[in-house]
Copies of this chain bind each other. A is one copy, B any other.
Amino acid sequence: MPLSDNMGHGRLILENAPEGVGIMKITVLGTGMVGDAIATRLIKLGHEVRMGSRTNQNPNAEAWVKRCGHLASQGDFANSATFGEMVFNCTNGATAIEALTAAGASNLAGKILVDVSNALDISMQPPGLLYGRNTSLGERLQAAFPKVRVVKTLNTVNCKVMVAPRQIPGAHNIFVSGNDPGAKTSVSEFLCSFGWEKAEIIDLGDITTARGPEMFLPLWLRLYGALGTGAFNIKVVR
């Protein structure tokens, strides 16, 4: 992982900074529960994080900055996209393409975009999938932003599990999909820094494989209904 150009400005050397992930400037697009969970986790790992939203006066983002201190900042989508060396898409999947268009293709070009979002049709109960049966948001983002290195991951668990997987007992799995092997390696190192074990990460293949984890959502939602908790994950057993 490339280290931030901004290293050495009096930042603490963090005890929990994992091997393999250097301290970086990171953008988190989205100010909902998912964006907050990811951005807060990144701050705790010592990264410099900017939370992006439609405006630069988003109350969620302002509260998050106040809570997280000097490594945290906020801005509009374009300003935030410019800031980060790596970008997490934590926007509502249903409007993610518009959000990333506002962020600006040129501001995102060449960067890794970690897409953790789900495009849900919330007019249904439980929510349905917004996109067709044989496509995925991950693919659509990659097609819309061809210079961005999209990696789909983490969308198969709730945001608490995303950033603290060890709250679930034993081993369980998370998936990565993307066209750029180097980007998947970098994102896997980030997942490990969140607490995922390397052996738990399953590389499904190119970005078209994002259909698998995205279409898992209808089962996740029914399991959530049947179990009465979102604090679960699946383990592939063989």
Contact = CB atoms under 8 A, between A and B. Distances in A.
Interface of A: 121, 124, 128-129, 131-134, 168-172, 175, 202-205, 209, 211-213, 215-223, 225-227, 229, 231-238
Nearest to A136: B218
A121 B133 CA distance: 11
Given A128-B133, A233-B237, A203 B216 contact: no
Interface centre among A221, A231, A238 (most CB of B within 10 A): A238
Nearest to A227: B238
B234 A205 contact: no
A125 to B, nearest CB: 10
Given A134-B124, A218-B211, A232-B236, A204 B225 contact: yes
A223 B204 contact: yes
Interface centre among A213, A222, A231, A234 (most CB of B within 10 A): A222
27 contacts: A128-B133, A128-B134, A129-B133, A129-B134, A131-B133, A132-B133, A133-B133, A133-B215, A168-B237, A169-B237, A171-B237, A175-B219, A204-B222, A209-B222, A211-B222, A212-B219, A212-B221, A215-B215, A215-B218, A215-B219, A216-B216, A231-B238, A232-B236, A232-B237, A233-B237, A233-B238, A234-B235
A126 to B, nearest CB: 9
A224 to B, nearest CB: 10
Contacts of A231: 238
A227 to B, nearest CB: 6
A218 B212 contact: yes
Nearest to A170: B237
Contacts of A226: 202-205
Interface centre among A124, A220, A223 (most CB of B within 10 A): A223
Contacts of A237: 168-172, 232-235
A76 B229 CA distance: 46
10 smallest A-B Cβ distances: which pairs?
A212-B219, A232-B238, A128-B134, A212-B222, A129-B133, A234-B234, A133-B133, A215-B215, A204-B222, A235-B235
